[in-house]
Amino acid sequence: MREFWRHFRRNRLAVAGGAIVAAMLAVALLAPLLAPYDPSAIQVSSILLPPSFDHLLGTDALGRDVLSRMIYGTQISLLVGFVAVGISVAIGIFIGALAGYYPGRVDTLFMRLVDIMLSIPTFFLILAVIALVGPNLINIMIVIGVTSWMGVARLVRGEFLALRESDYVSAARALGVPAHRIIFSHILPNAMAPVYVSTILGIAAAVLVESSLSFLGLGVQPPTPSWGNILTDGKSNIEIAWWLSCFPGVAILVTVLGYNLLGEGLRDALDPRLKK
């Protein structure tokens, strides 16, 4: 850990990404304390007010405070990102571990499944499934998770193929250790470095997908605030209320950039071939 931290902190962009991620997590956790107004409170006298001292990021078409809605929208975006990526990583690890440890029919079966899933445009698949099951928060998290595990599966499979013939694995087999213990107790802990990086990058991708779905009206439904449905309000009033499109867009950009910088920094710090 000391060596990892030494390499990680040398990368200023990675440290900046980590600071952005930490700031977003703090905003999500402290939303009730940070939000100056109730995000769902309608004020007819305050419709489409520009940024001011009373409303730092302005108000929307129903007079709701945009800053408060964006702060609470941080909770939704990060919740979707963490839960969806948790589901995808669990599926990817399970399938990749089995495919890498059992080359042959099992490997062929799972890898053809991966190829089939990759041949389907993921975003359109998500749109189709959401249209069938209905747009609510739980469905969104599950659908994003079960349609984005293929990259993790390939990473884990590659690591298992490289590690399954290692001396410590051969020794465990010779001692009669059951296959499931070898997979999950011996090989998997040594194959997790690329998974950590993929997880961080996957959160950024999930935030983008959730925002896109909400923007199209198939994501988090009003009055629950999310960055995507704030952007939808901005689309309807873009000529007279620029702040409704600008601030949520910047929040999405900064969040995704932060996770990408952190992921790249983790990759550089965890991969010994990239250390200088």
pLDDT band at 272 (very low <50, low <70, confident <90, very high): low
Specify the pLDDT at position 103.
Answer: 84
Please determine, for residue 222, whether its predicted confidence score (pLDDT) is greater than 70: yes
Of the two residues 28 and 125, the one the predictor is more confident about is 28
Cβ-Cβ contacts under 8 Å for 14 (sequence gap 6 or more)? 8, 261, 262, 264, 265, 266, 268, 269
Q: How far are the Cα atoms of 5, 18, 70, 258 from residue 24, in angstroms, in the given order?
A: 22, 10, 11, 9
Cβ–Cβ contacts within 10 Å for residue 161, how many?
16
Looking at residue 270, its pLDDT comes to 77
- Across 156-163, average pLDDT: 90
Over residues 8-36, the mean pLDDT reads: 91
Cα–Cα distance between 34 and 141 in angstroms, integer? 26
pTM recorded for the entire structure: 0.87
226-246: pLDDT as tens digits: 888 888 888 878 888 889 889
Average pLDDT, rounded, for the chain: 88
pLDDT over 80 at 273, yes or no: no
Instruction: Give the pLDDT band (50/70/90) at residue 251.
Output: very high
Q: The domain 2-40+57-274: what is its CATH number?
A: 1.10.3720.10
Rg (CA), the chain: 22
Nearest by Cα to 25 from 187, 155, 207: 207
- Reply yes or no on whether the pLDDT at 275 is more than 70: no
Residue 265 CB neighbours (<10 A): 24
Contacts 24+ apart (CB under 8 A), 129-138: 130/213, 130/218, 130/219, 131/218, 135/213, 135/217, 135/218, 135/219, 135/220, 135/221, 136/221, 137/76, 137/79, 137/80, 137/220, 137/224
Q: Where are the domains of the chain?
A: 2-40+57-274
**Would you place residue 71 in the very low, low, confident or very high pLDDT band (cuts 50, 70, 90)?**
very high
Provide the pLDDT for residue 259.
93
User: For residue 92, what pLDDT is reported?
Assistant: 94
